[in-house]
């Protein structure tokens, strides 16, 4: 790749899925958001145009790929437009990387959609991907291009620490989440517990048992995302039954499909910490939610990438 000037600010453009988050990232960077146009034709087809010159530029395209699938396709179109406009480097900034839960062939005749999306981003023209709290960290290996994988734990734990929760125990809702639980427990100097569960089918879970001491403790359930909230609510109920005095939750990606918010509102959960990788429309808001912005950590990563500096400190 040819040498590139480091002078000036990176050019940051927003997809329609994360306009507010992109504005916050630009505010942290001290730059203005790049000018672009995006609209749908009457049949739903997406049209995108950069409204300023990006030839030879280091561009950062910010777009989360939560449902509907048009959000993913809009990101692909943005990458393709940047490639055809002769951008020097195309950085796909994907705060929430959708289709990541299908990361292996766990049944006959199914797709590995995480790899499919990685392939599509590469073909569309992305040179680099910047994302946060992948459902499975090994998805980074699905790409044949650099992937910077950020974690929300540093900003989340700062916010949780300020809440001064007494007698805190960190709880993983399943075996797969123990690494996240350990990271939180280390930062917050708290013990961990685990809920052993058995999944009967997609979005249906039979809770098994609590492993660890939770009686008389304030429990914080940590996870990467919340979809239907079935697992989370069942875990909270199980902890209360096991003697927990207070149960809160913390997850990065507020997918919240179907009746998830109503389920959370009716649950024993007292407080729920989430980030702004996915915006909350009015119908998905709850008094229990505390939104922690991850704009600063993305801004630091974008600045570091733009300046070709190490950003490894952000991965810890």
Positions at the binding site for Mg(2+): 135, 174
Where is the binding site for ATP, in residues?
Answer: 43-45, 101-102
Give the CB-side neighbour count of residue 96, counting CA atoms within 13 A: 30
Active site residue 115: no
In sign, the C-alpha dihedral spanning 251, 254, 258, 260 is positive
In the chain, what's the furthest Cα-to-Cα distance? 61
As a whole number of angstroms, the distance between CA 137 and CA 10 comes to 27
Instruction: Find the Cα–Cα–Cα–Cα dihedral 290, 295, 300, 306, rounded to 10°.
Output: 160
Where is the binding site, in residues?
Answer: 43-45, 101-102, 135, 174, 199, 223, 227-231
Would you say how long the chain is, in residues?
316
Among 105, 197, 238, 288, the active-site one is: 197
Spatial CA neighbour of 292 closest among 272, 269, 273: 273
In sign, the C-alpha dihedral spanning 232, 237, 239, 240 is positive
Where is the binding site for D-ribose 5-phosphate, in residues?
Answer: 199, 223, 227-231
Angle at 149 between CA 105 and CA 62, to 5 degrees: 100
SS3 175: helix
Q: Determine how β-strand 192-201 pairs with β-strand 168-172.
A: parallel
Instruction: Find the Cα–Cα–Cα–Cα dihedral 303, 132, 15, 86, rounded to 10°.
Output: 50
What positions carry a catalytic annotation? 197
């Amino acid at each position: 790749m040819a040498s590139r000037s480091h002078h000036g600010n990176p050019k940051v453009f927003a997809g329609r899925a994360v306009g507010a988050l992109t504005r916050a990232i630009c505010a942290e960077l001290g730059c203005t958001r790049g000018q672009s146009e995006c609209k749908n034709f009457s049949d739903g087809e997406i049209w995108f145009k950069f409204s300023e010159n990006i030839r030879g530029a280091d561009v950062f395209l910010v777009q989360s790929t939560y449902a509907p699938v048009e959000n993913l396709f809009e990101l692909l179109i943005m990458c393709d437009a940047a490639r055809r406009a002769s951008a020097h480097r195309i950085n796909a900034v994907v705060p929430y990387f959708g289709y990541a839960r299908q990361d292996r062939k766990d049944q006959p005749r199914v797709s590995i959609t995480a790899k499919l999306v990685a392939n599509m981003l590469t073909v569309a023209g992305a040179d680099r991907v910047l994302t946060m709290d992948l459902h499975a960290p090994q998805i980074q290996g699905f790409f044949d291009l650099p992937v910077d994988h950020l974690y929300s734990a540093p900003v989340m734990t700062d916010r949780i620490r300020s809440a001064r929760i007494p007698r805190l125990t960190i709880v993983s809702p399943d075996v797969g989440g123990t690494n996240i639980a350990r990271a939180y427990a280390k930062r917050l100097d708290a013990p961990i517990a685990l809920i052993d569960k058995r999944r009967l089918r997609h979005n249906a879970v039979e809770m098994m048992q609590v492993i660890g001491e939770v009686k008389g403790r304030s429990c914080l359930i940590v996870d990467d995302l919340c979809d239907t909230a079935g697992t989370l609510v069942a875990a909270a109920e199980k902890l209360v039954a096991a003697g927990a005095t207070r149960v809160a939750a913390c997850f990065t990606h507020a997918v919240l499909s179907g009746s998830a918010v109503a389920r959370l509102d009716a649950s024993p959960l007292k407080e729920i910490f989430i980030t702004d990788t996915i915006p909350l429309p009015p119908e998905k808001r709850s008094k229990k939610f505390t939104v922690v912005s991850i704009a600063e950590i993305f801004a630091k990563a974008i600045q570091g990438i733009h300046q070709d500096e190490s950003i490894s400190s952000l991965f810890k």
